[in-house]
Chain A
Amino acid sequence: MSNSRIVGKAAPVRFENVSKRFGRDVVAVDNINLNVEAGKLVTLLGPSGCGKTTTLRMIAGLEMASDGRILIGDRDVTTLPATDRDVSMVFQSYALFPHMSVLENVSYGLTFSGFSKSETRDRALAGLDLVGLKGFDSRLPSELSGGQQQRVAVARALVLEPQVLLFDEPLSNLDAKLRRQVREDIRAIQQDLGLTVVYVTHDQEEALAVSDEIVVMRNASIAQIGSPRALYEAPVDQFVADFIGEANILPCVIQSVDGDVATISIEEYHYELPARGLGIGPAKLAVRPSRLVIGTARGFTATVAKATYVGVRMEYTLQASFGSMFAVQDDVDSPLDVGTEVTVGFHAKSPVLLPEA
């Protein structure tokens, strides 16, 4: 078995000005450029219909790009069908072949790769071992739980040692507890084997948890690419700010810019923060709900419009003269009453300036 240990053959993926149109009018992916480094886990994140799954399927070769070039490693695969690409994919529905046993499912791809019978078997068993399904080889997919089926699907894709491994919303059919465990397993296998993984999800928490890099997509194009922390802490626009975690978007005015530091005002409240290239004038401010501090000495005034107790924390809806916002507080023992007038400020380093709409 030692000679048939599964190793990664990770390769980078490159999209150069790739577009995909369906029919004449529907543009599913609009002129995107993307670089996935070898050995990294990159997530495509976005609301439904944003083109993330189409992008994934273009890597797999299940959809052909209408324009542009796709490279895997050094090879131009733009016109290559799925069969001839060294890519495998884990499907949302798992797509296990119901008429084949677990072992036959895992061996399926190997039989087309020129391995001897015993080699195929060894590799398939090693794959099952890797996902913790030793001894399940003769079961039918219908005799496994959802989580186990999911792992068979992963093993089936892994044993081919693909240059790129693709996941299409792999956790959406699992319950919440299993989801956390499976996503940790996937991340662990990816890091152990150093695989290049492209992962599609619409769940931002899942994306933050597993990714080296996140590609946020909107309306067929890329809104922002960055590490989870960069996206969370420095979103480029309101869409990204709101999509990655919740954010309050507040109107503000940039009073002065001094080098990298801007001074803004919201009503009478003045605050200093990185300017991010913006000039004097009206702008937007993105603030996470947990980063709003209620009851500071300096700040703007607001009224508590709604107070909700959810166990671990309090959730408040605050009404200010310029709009409402959402805040959470860890202090559950002395909740504020509805109608209370409060002063609201920001945690240090927390708000982010965004361009006006």
Chain B
Amino acid sequence: MIFWIIAGWVGYLILPWYGVEDGFFSFEWLIDGYPFDDDYAPAAFLIGQGEKLWLAPLLLPLLAPLLVLRLKKSDPNYARILILAGAAGFAWLMAQGFGIGIRGFTADWLVALFGELDDRQYGMGYGGLLVASAFLFLFTQGIAARGAINGDVFVVSAIGGVIVIVTTFVFFPIAKMLFAAFVTEDGSYSAMVFASKFFDDRLWGIGCLYGARCGAAWNSLFLAITVGVLTTVLGLVFALVVTRSGFRHKRALRALTVLPIITPPFVIGLALILLFGLSGTVTQFVSDLFGLQPTRWLYGMPGVLIAQTLAFTPIAFLVLIGVVEGVSPSMEEAAQTLRANRWQTFRTVSLPLMRPGLANAFLLGFIESMADFGNPLVLGGNFDVLSTEIFFAIVGAQYDQGRAAVLAMVLLFFTLSAFYAQRMWLGKKSYTTVSGKGDAGVHPLMPKGLAIPVFLAAGIWGLFTVVVYGMILYGSVVELWGVNNTLTFKHYVTAFSVRIEDSGIRWSGAAWDSFWTTIYIAAAAAPLTAIVGLVTAYLLTRQTFAGKNAFEFGTMLSFAIPGTVIGVSYILAFNVPPIEITGTGIILIVSFIFRNMPVGVRAGIASMSQLDKSLDESSLTLGANSWQTFRKIILPLLRPAILAALVYSFVRAMTAISAVIFLVSAEYDMATSYIIGRVENNDYGLAIAYSTTLIFVMLGAVGLLQLLVGRTKIGRRTQFGSGEKP
């Protein structure tokens, strides 16, 4: 309590109120005119100099909590003052932030009301941020004091904190983007603009039915459905091979599931170009053999389809292996004792039990395909899909924010519908339950009629995947693909050369800049993602509060928001005060936190629901409060989940491209966007060499994780194992 009161005052009196231009972590302002220089001054100094007078009213809600210090916690005034002060302060902070921008008042009615304002303000900095947090947590303290959630300050504050950051960084930008779809050229709002952009032929045209081109929306939809079906079928095929056959190298197949995690999405597209492109190996071979003219068939729907199916089959496999294994063997054994043969058992029992899982895998494939940006960019050719159209609307010659916003809305509508269907329709419909009772049964083998096509499909596709990954490796050491096939390390040298000079090591390779930026950003985002994810998971599994379902839906929502949509909405929302962070590293970190938060939440929920709730309760009855319980009991027992969340958010931050490509700047370029840039310049060698390096770096990270988590788990099993038995 006292801590947040002090924090509020520190933010107001001592720290610079506005964002410092040199970057969040640069401390140059300390010696450069602080505290009287306008750019660096704390709010109090600004007012003292008669500037930014609209910050003055904040003094009132800052003073009010001081009264509370004399009151008892049970005094109704204690809660009332804190709630009022927190809410008023926060509201005023928001109002002035949105009301006054870099050109004075931001809305006409404000000008009409108060007259023209000669002053201006920039985005919030340390001071503003700290004061805002102080108000927020004073407010939650007040709510807690009124008895919400048993008066638990930590839980109420955590809920408040998560709601505010999710609102700020997920809902606010999306809302801002939706508004942008209605903006006319002169800055006013009109439904006509939206309608004209929405009913554009390039979006909904059905020309492809009679030979012309179809709209991007239909293309995306058709592609996503096809990819969803294909990945589900192939995923099921692999899952059946692993669980229902005598296949011996199951572990190798399971390793397949790691691939999508460590592969930047567009790398598959690059490998396909090496194989089937104009100068690709297969293309050349076939044209020599049959004397055919090489064509550009790969560039368009076929190429994107193959690339996405390759990239997302492992995801479907990951989902389906759990489903196929989860079908209780005793059900299948029961069917067999009831005189069903193997094929009948599979058709009447196993498959129907897997149905919800299959639908789930399809929807995941659908969402992934819709959101994929890298492959259509590399392979799309004239085949327009929504995610790339959004990109070209923003960065292309057209620079049409409104059109980007409309496209993003359509894309968002598709993915959200799929997400909603997955959660609402499938959520309660799982037949695969692992009960506490031992199930000693064994899964029956596949019926013969099924086994042969399954093995065939798995074999072909498995081989294809191996060839594609081999291509990536091989392509990185070839001088110039299809033209000069001599082996060389040239591309690695260009990208990653290091010179030792007198002054120390010089990272002279072309890729080092973006490489280190990527590592730095990913490393900064990972722990923050893990913290936000685990705290949210804790709230979802361990606490009950009003609106919990909405809270859960909101936090998982960002999973369904395609990266391109996040990218566009962040540009639109955070280019202007009060939060002005485009072009900084912070916006990249923030976008990663909220893109990857669902991963952390899921990891947290999964392992937290394995911890018996009586552990928390006994800690509470022993006098620990919920923060102490969280820190001393839950966190230590969650070490594996924390590690997993850390590494996965790190790796995902390194492979992400769709949101990143909107948010990078000259100063903060990321590896993936750098590689895409190389691809656009037809510099495939360097791009592939760089991608290969990334894959190995991430393979190392994941391997390290498996090693660490594996160990921890063994330790836990012995602890819990005998702990259960009397």
Contact = CB atoms under 8 A, between A and B. Distances in A.
Interface of A: 60-62, 64, 79, 81-83, 85, 87-89, 91-93, 95-99, 108-109, 112-113, 140-143, 145-147, 149, 153, 156-157, 160, 166, 173-175, 178
Contacts of B726: 145-147, 173-175, 178
Contact of B621 (A62, A147, A178): A62
B617 A79 contact: no
Given A98-B637, A99-B637, A147-B726, A93 B614 contact: yes
Nearest to B726: A146
B622 A88 contact: yes
Interface stretch (B144-152, B232-240, B575-583, B696-704): B144-152
A83 B723 contact: no
Nearest to B616: A95
B617 A83 contact: no
B337 interface: no
Given A141-B723, A149-B723, A174-B726, A95 B615 contact: yes
Contacts of A88: 621-622
Contact of B623 (A95, A99, A109): A109
A242 B311 CA distance: 66
A142 B620 contact: no
Residue picked from A112, A113, A153, most chain B C-beta under 10 Å: A112
Given A79-B151, A95-B615, A142-B718, A156 B622 contact: yes
B429 interface: no
Residue picked from B624, B718, B723, most chain A C-beta under 10 Å: B723
Residue picked from B623, B624, B718, B719, most chain A C-beta under 10 Å: B623
B721 interface: yes
Across the A-B interface, the 3 shortest Cβ-Cβ residue pairs? A146-B726, A109-B622, A95-B614
Contacts of B623: 83, 109, 112-113, 160
A161 to B, nearest CB: 12
A246 to B, nearest CB: 28
B423 interface: no
Interface of A is mostly: loop
Nearest to B721: A142
Interface stretch (B23-31, B350-358, B625-633): B625-633
Contacts of A160: 622-623
A265 B720 CA distance: 61
Residue picked from A61, A62, A64, A96, most chain B C-beta under 10 Å: A62
9 contacts: A60-B621, A81-B152, A97-B619, A98-B637, A98-B716, A112-B628, A141-B719, A142-B718, A157-B621
B719 A92 contact: no
Contacts of A93: 612, 614
A113 B628 CA distance: 13
Interface in B703-726: 716, 718-723, 725-726
Nearest to A92: B614
B618 interface: yes
Interface in B108-153: 147, 150-152
A48 B615 CA distance: 22
Interface string B543-561: 0000000000000000000
B636 interface: yes
Residue picked from B150, B622, B720, most chain A C-beta under 10 Å: B622
B334 to A, nearest CB: 29
Interface string B619-656: 11111111010001100110000000000000000000
B547 to A, nearest CB: 15
A140 B716 CA distance: 12
Nearest to B725: A146
Contact of A97 (B615, B621, B626, B722): B615
B143 to A, nearest CB: 15
Contacts of B150: 61, 64, 79, 81
B147 A79 contact: yes
B622 A61 contact: no
A81 B629 CA distance: 14
A80 to B, nearest CB: 8
Interface residues of B, number: 31
A83 B637 contact: no
Given A60-B617, A99-B637, A146-B725, 4 more contacts: A98-B720, A109-B622, A112-B622, A113-B623
A97 B633 contact: yes
B613 to A, nearest CB: 9
A57 B13 CA distance: 47
Contacts of A96: 723
A13 to B, nearest CB: 14
A189 B622 CA distance: 19
Contacts of B151: 79, 81
Contact of B617 (A95, A98, A153, A178): A95
Given A89-B617, A98-B720, A142-B720, A109 B636 contact: no
Contacts of B615: 95, 97
A219 B621 CA distance: 27
Contacts of B626: 83
Given A83-B623, A99-B637, A175-B726, A91 B617 contact: yes
A142 B633 contact: no
A140 B722 CA distance: 11
Contacts of B147: 79
A64 B620 CA distance: 14
A87 B618 CA distance: 11
A242 to B, nearest CB: 30
Given A142-B720, A142-B721, A175-B726, A108 B621 contact: no
Contacts of B624: 83, 108-109, 112
Interface string B414-443: 000000000000000000000000000000
B300 to A, nearest CB: 55
A79 B146 CA distance: 11
Residue picked from A61, A98, A109, A175, most chain B C-beta under 10 Å: A98
A259 to B, nearest CB: 51
Contacts of B152: 81
A93 B720 CA distance: 12
Given A140-B719, A173-B726, A83 B625 contact: yes
Contacts of A175: 726
B725 A91 contact: no
A317 to B, nearest CB: 34
Contact of B722 (A142, A156, A174): A142
A99 B636 CA distance: 7
A322 B621 CA distance: 53
Contacts of A98: 637, 716, 719-720, 723
A88 B632 CA distance: 18
A142 B723 contact: yes
B593 to A, nearest CB: 28
A83 B620 contact: yes
A99 B621 contact: no
Contacts of B617: 60, 62, 82, 89, 91, 95
Contact of B622 (A108, A142, A146): A108
B545 to A, nearest CB: 13
Contacts of A174: 726
A60 B617 CA distance: 9
A87 B716 CA distance: 30
Nearest to A62: B617
Nearest to A141: B723
Nearest to B618: A95
A203 B632 CA distance: 35
B612 A89 contact: no
